[in-house]
Chains A and B, each alone.
Chain A
């Protein structure tokens, strides 16, 4: 079955912007051959209390890298746990960072959302530390001091649906 969706918006609509401030970003990597033992570490009961606000994973050169954003206290504990394991190499711990995220009608089905997001922020000189876009959502990890300006810029680009 094939359905053609017909829609266009002069300004892309979003349901609004939400923020999660004061997070720690933890980046680590491991060889792809170690993914099974790393998964076994993640599935331990003592990590169940962690509430990650953002996770992405990328693969390159036979390695898989992860970026987690967690509340700072949880981030420190998680970083310490990773240091104790021989399976992963903690590369970076950044605090504080903030997340701004949003979703909207047709996100995931239409082109132009990424350009409206990244080009607008790039023009305004805002550096994106990390981003994950899936399931019709856009998540951006920014330096804490950039979050107000980012929301202001994005609010001018996207229309917040009422």
Chain B
């Protein structure tokens, strides 16, 4: 059977993940947490939010692994996020796939194939041209191999692993 074609694939650097879950509140959790992270100049590389799951809100986000301790401290500071259940996971990575079409089919194939290889999924988000999966960072190479075996990749594919790490400078230069 001919393999489905995809436009490409890329892996993230090592990240960590936080899941915050709580009842509806007057102060939006996404707003509050993003403000706390902005104050520490921490970039969220992945975020999902849903506000209506059995009246619970859930915010999930991934940041650089080296910000794990600082972010844990901020979020768990007493009284800052009362009544919110906070779970965290270290050493995750994002694998992003660029499907040409058949997004649901590609999503389904990856879900079932990863499950067959005991590769977990901790989160998914789509954009206009991509599907991003959060999984264990240590399993990222194995997860990538499963995808490469499932789909036909372009011959001139760019490197899958990141070659450049960006840090936003603290220098503020006005436009």
Contact = CB atoms under 8 A, between A and B. Distances in A.
Interface string B150-162: 0000000000000
Interface string A131-160: 111111101000000000000000000000
Nearest to B109: A43
A59 B27 CA distance: 23
A116 B78 CA distance: 26
Interface in A102-116: 103, 106, 108-115
A92 to B, nearest CB: 6
Interface in B78-133: 87, 94, 96, 102-105, 107-113, 115-116, 120-132
Contact of B47 (A9, A39, A50, A114): A114
| Secondary structure dominating the interface of B | mixed
Contacts of A122: 27-28, 30-31
A110 B168 contact: yes
A38 interface: yes
Contacts of B27: 122
A3 B166 contact: yes
Interface string B50-68: 1111100010110000000
B37 A42 contact: no
Contacts of A47: 104-105, 108
Given A5-B166, A114-B37, A56 B43 contact: no
B112 A40 contact: yes
Given A1-B164, A5-B169, A36-B111, A129 B52 contact: yes
Contact of B48 (A40, A92, A131): A131
Interface residues of A, number: 71
Contacts of A80: none
Given A128-B51, A133-B46, A48 B102 contact: yes
Contacts of B42: 111
Interface string B11-26: 0000000010100000
A10 B172 CA distance: 9
A111 B105 contact: no
A115 B61 CA distance: 13
Nearest to B164: A3
A137 B174 contact: no
A112 B43 CA distance: 7
Interface of B: 19, 21, 27-28, 30-31, 34-35, 37-38, 41-54, 58, 60-61, 87, 94, 96, 102-105, 107-113, 115-116, 120-132, 163-169, 171-175
11 contacts: A1-B163, A36-B115, A47-B105, A48-B102, A52-B103, A92-B52, A109-B168, A114-B34, A115-B35, A129-B51, A130-B50
Given A56-B124, A136-B127, 4 more contacts: A44-B108, A58-B123, A114-B38, A134-B127
Interface of A: 1-10, 27, 29, 32, 35-45, 47-48, 50-52, 54-60, 64-67, 91-92, 94, 101, 103, 106, 108-115, 117-119, 121-122, 127-137, 139
* 3 pairs of A and B residues whose beta carbons are closest in the complex: A42-B108, A39-B111, A39-B112
